[in-house]
């Protein structure tokens, strides 16, 4: 019995295990109930201004005539709540969202006129000056503003520019006073004189043939141009670019091309005593090579270029003589030998109006800038490929040939002659917007914000005294460098050259530029009238001789209306609405 019970015990345990396994196999997994997805309603984007402003004005007029608000809203498709709010006077008829603006509509318009008037005078404002002007206005007027220290930020400036798309930020072109003195009348007289001169020579047909009109001018190319903006760590304020070779070395290049878009072989002037064979082999046979002691253009080199490069090229192209060669009035172009060479060989050399190449010369208008940009790119690629090898004189000619081939296209050259009104000959095509053609532009104020600033009068005697203290020949070197655009001599004399050039540029003007008295007059009125603002917008000369002022030269002021009246009558519907004018603080800070 004991043996049987001992044998049955393990059998029972085995049966229990089998039953548990079977039950685990046959056990059904619990059924998961599917969750109901919550229906999420998409937010409907609100739309505004589904009606025209004219519809709102017509609906408002209908209510004034006795029509019910609901019927007028339905007839003119204007929201009832909107029309009801306009009728009750909760808001003006102007469709404007958001909080009340810091400046009124009239003040912002006057601010735009202020910006435009100063830009026409050559005193263009930047964003910082504009923001500081608004800060002065609201501070003096003691207005409550959401700005920190009453100074508008970038958001306000962005909104202001959006509200006034006629105002935009652009890069300025810095010119000296001598360039700014050129007027539209001067350039038109120059064009008329050119026509009369050619008619007197019996060759006015030159202006009808683009193959017979040429423009020649010099420019400089640095062997190590500036890199410009580079990439680096945001915290690293010291980023350097190790230049290749002498960063002060600049090569003079004489360019020449016709109104038809053809490029005459240029000339490179090297600072050499003797031209080596590796230079001539690298540059090629078409280009002309000159050598001077300073590396600048001289009358001898220019005459040599005309005789041995330009004239043979003209004859090879079978171009009809005489031809017109337009140049600037530098000394190297106007010597007796040069003029005699041109006269004997059918070249009519004619100079541009003084200090007007930025307006009238095709090379300066459309050619030099792409050439300089292409040169910087080619030199950058060269430095990267050669790991910073210097641009030697043989390499310079090779790289410059690549730049000319890639950037001097016929369309670009033809466009330059067209912009300058030279071919087709049309004085109206000249960019007169660059001229200081308004009478108010003739006297540019030195500093309109500081009454205590006294102008310094530099006389020619001061310049002569400075030159007498220099070593022999230094003044002549400075004059050559001024025509080239930068000092390429001894590094120790760089500061002296900058000082000499500043004094020379001032003495060339031969006048003291003082701010007009009316710029500092404070305008204080308790109840200003925008009619009086026109005396600020228009210069004194314009008020004295209104018939002499052109429409495009007079700043447009906002329409005259009395701001003392809080209710004004619109022209179309006779609707009464609130108008806020210009505060005295605004007029005290916005002066022309």
* Together in a domain, 387 and 468: no
The torsion angles phi and psi of 112, rounded to 5 degrees, stand at: -65, -45
* Together in a domain, 72 and 214: no
The torsion angles phi and psi of 416, rounded to 5 degrees, stand at: -65, -45
* Together in a domain, 429 and 487: no
Asked whether residue 38 is domain-assigned, the answer is: no
Higher pLDDT pick, 523 / 100: 100
Q: Exposure pattern of 168-202 as b/e (b: 16+ CB <10 Å)? A: eeeeeeebebebbbbbbeebeebbeebeeebeeee
Asked whether residue 44 is domain-assigned, the answer is: no
Among 172-176, 316-320, 382-386, whose mean pLDDT is lowest? 172-176
* Together in a domain, 267 and 223: yes
* Listed residue (463, 449, 447) closest to 513, CA to CA: 447
Q: What is the pTM of this model?
A: 0.49
The CATH number of whichever domain residue 76 belongs to comes to: 1.10.10
* Together in a domain, 469 and 396: no
Over the stretch 238-251, which tens digit does the pLDDT of each residue have? 544 555 555 568 89
Over the stretch 400-429, which tens digit does the pLDDT of each residue have? 999 999 999 999 999 999 999 999 999 999
Q: What is the mean pLDDT of residues 387-400?
A: 88
* Together in a domain, 421 and 504: no
Question: How far apart are alpha carbons 346 and 588 in whole angstroms?
Answer: 63
Asked whether residue 526 is domain-assigned, the answer is: no
Which of 402, 434, 466 is the last residue in one of the domains?
Answer: 434
In the chain, how many H helices and how many E strands? 24, 8
The CATH number of whichever domain residue 322 belongs to comes to: 3.30.420.10
Q: How many domains does the chain have?
A: 3
Question: How far apart are alpha carbons 292 and 272 in whole angstroms?
Answer: 6
Over the stretch 496-532, which tens digit does the pLDDT of each residue have? 888 888 888 777 655 433 333 333 333 333 333 333 3
- pLDDT for 263 equals 95
Asked whether residue 567 is domain-assigned, the answer is: no
- Rounded to the nearest integer, the mean pLDDT of the chain is 74
Q: What is the mean pLDDT of residues 265-289?
A: 87
* Listed residue (175, 208, 188) closest to 505, CA to CA: 175
Quote the domain boundaries for residue 493: 458-509
* Together in a domain, 277 and 186: yes
- Residue 380 CA: distances (Å) to CA of 117, 247, 458: 42, 14, 42
Higher pLDDT pick, 409 / 586: 409
Which of 43, 71, 88 is the last residue in one of the domains?
Answer: 88
Task: List, in order, residues 6 or more apart from 120 with CB less than 8 Å away.
Answer: 438, 440, 441, 553, 555
Asked whether residue 151 is domain-assigned, the answer is: no
* Together in a domain, 194 and 326: yes
Over the stretch 17-66, which tens digit does the pLDDT of each residue have? 555 665 555 555 555 555 656 665 665 555 666 777 788 888 888 998 88
- Share of the chain residues as helix, strand and coil, in percent rounded to the nearest 5: 50, 10, 40
* Together in a domain, 305 and 200: yes
- pLDDT for 531 equals 35
Asked whether residue 480 is domain-assigned, the answer is: yes
């Amino acid at each position: 019995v004991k043996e049987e019970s001992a044998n049955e015990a393990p059998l029972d345990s085995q049966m229990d295990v089998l039953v548990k396994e079977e039950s685990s196999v046959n056990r059904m997994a619990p059924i998961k109930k599917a969750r109901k997805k919550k229906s999420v309603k998409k937010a409907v984007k609100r739309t505004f201004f589904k009606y025209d402003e004219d519809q709102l004005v017509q609906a408002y007029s209908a209510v004034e005539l006795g029509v019910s608000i609901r019927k007028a809203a339905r007839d003119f498709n204007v929201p009832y709540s909107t029309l009801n709010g306009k009728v009750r006077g909760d808001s003006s008829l102007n469709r404007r969202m958001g909080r009340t603006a810091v400046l009124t509509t009239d003040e912002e318009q006057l601010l735009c006129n202020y910006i435009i008037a100063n830009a026409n005078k050559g005193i263009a404002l930047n964003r910082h000056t504009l923001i500081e002007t608004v800060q002065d206005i609201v501070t003096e007027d003691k207005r409550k503003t959401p700005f920190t220290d009453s100074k508008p930020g970038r958001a306000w400036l962005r909104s202001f520019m959006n509200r006034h798309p006629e105002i935009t930020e652009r890069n300025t072109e810095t010119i000296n006073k001598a360039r700014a003195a050129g007027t539209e009348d001067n350039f038109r007289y120059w064009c008329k004189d050119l026509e009369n001169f050619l008619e007197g020579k019996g060759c006015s047909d030159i202006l009808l043939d683009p193959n017979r009109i040429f423009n020649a001018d010099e420019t400089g190319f640095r062997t190590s141009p500036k890199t410009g903006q580079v990439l680096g760590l945001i915290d690293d304020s010291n980023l350097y670019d190790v230049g290749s070779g002498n960063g002060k070395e600049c090569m003079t290049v004489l360019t020449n091309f016709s109104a038809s878009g053809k490029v005459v072989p240029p000339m490179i002037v090297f600072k050499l005593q003797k031209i080596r064979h590796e230079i001539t082999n690298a540059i090629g046979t078409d280009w002309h090579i000159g050598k001077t002691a300073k590396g600048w253009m001289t009358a001898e080199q220019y005459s040599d270029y005309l005789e041995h490069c330009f004239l043979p090229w003209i004859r090879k192209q079978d171009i009809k003589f005489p031809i017109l060669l337009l140049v600037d009035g530098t000394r190297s172009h106007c010597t007796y030998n040069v003029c005699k060479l041109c006269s004997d060989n059918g070249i009519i050399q004619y100079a541009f109006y003084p200090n007007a190449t930025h307006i009238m010369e095709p090379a300066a208008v459309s050619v030099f800038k792409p050439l300089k940009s292409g040169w910087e790119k080619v030199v950058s690629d060269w430095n990267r490929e050669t790991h910073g090898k210097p641009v030697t004189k043989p390499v310079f000619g090779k790289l410059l040939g690549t730049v000319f081939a890639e950037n001097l296209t016929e369309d670009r050259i033809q466009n330059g002659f067209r912009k300058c009104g030279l071919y087709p000959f049309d004085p109206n095509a000249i960019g007169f917007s660059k001229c200081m053609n308004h009478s108010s532009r003739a006297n540019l104020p030195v500093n309109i914000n500081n009454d205590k600033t006294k102008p310094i009068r530099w006389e020619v005697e001061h310049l002569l005294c400075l030159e007498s203290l220099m070593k022999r020949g230094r003044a002549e070197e400075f004059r050559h460098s001024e025509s080239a655009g930068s000092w390429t001599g001894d590094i120790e004399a760089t500061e002296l050259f900058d000082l000499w050039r500043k004094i020379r540029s001032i003495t060339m003007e031969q006048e003291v530029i003082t701010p007009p008295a009316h710029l500092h007059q404070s305008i204080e009125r308790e109840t200003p009238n925008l009619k009086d603002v026109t005396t600020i917008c228009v210069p004194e000369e314009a008020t004295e001789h209104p018939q002499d002022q052109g429409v495009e030269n007079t700043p447009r002021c906002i329409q005259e209306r009395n701001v003392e009246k809080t209710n004004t009558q619109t022209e179309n519907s006779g609707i009464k609405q609130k108008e806020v004018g210009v505060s005295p603080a605004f007029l005290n800070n916005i002066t022309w």
